[in-house]
Structure 1
């Protein structure tokens, strides 16, 4: 796969991940934290704010893997 195409796909995947993750995290917060205290809100948003990094690291790792050399 050409590197430019790979970077384009990776960029689209990262943007889609952030948008979908933000929507899902917001929906979960609205549904579950409506009557929770400020500590629960803080912990939820702290954890969910860092959790999106895990799939993003997978996408970035895929982006930087060098294709095998052709002989």
Structure 2
């Protein structure tokens, strides 16, 4: 796969990942943490705010690998 195409697809995947992850994290917090204290909300959003980095790192690593010859 050409490098430009791989980076374009990776950018699209990253954008979709961030949007879907943000909506899901907020929906889960709304449903399950509505009556919780502020500390629980803080802990949840700190954890979920860092968790999206793992799949994003995998996509970026895939984007940066050299094409096979």
Q: TM-score, normalised by structure 2?
A: 0.97
Query: What RMSD in Å do the two structures reach over aligned CA positions?
Result: 0.6
Could you list the runs of 5+ residues in structure 2 that have no partner in the other structure? none
Larger relative CO (CA 8 A, sep 6+): 1 or 2? 2
Question: Which structure has the larger Rg over C-alpha atoms?
Answer: 1
Provide the aligned length of Structure 1 versus Structure 2.
69
Query: Structure 2 matches for 1:1-71, cutoff 5 A?
Result: 1-69=1-69
Could you list the runs of 5+ residues in structure 1 that have no partner in the other structure? none
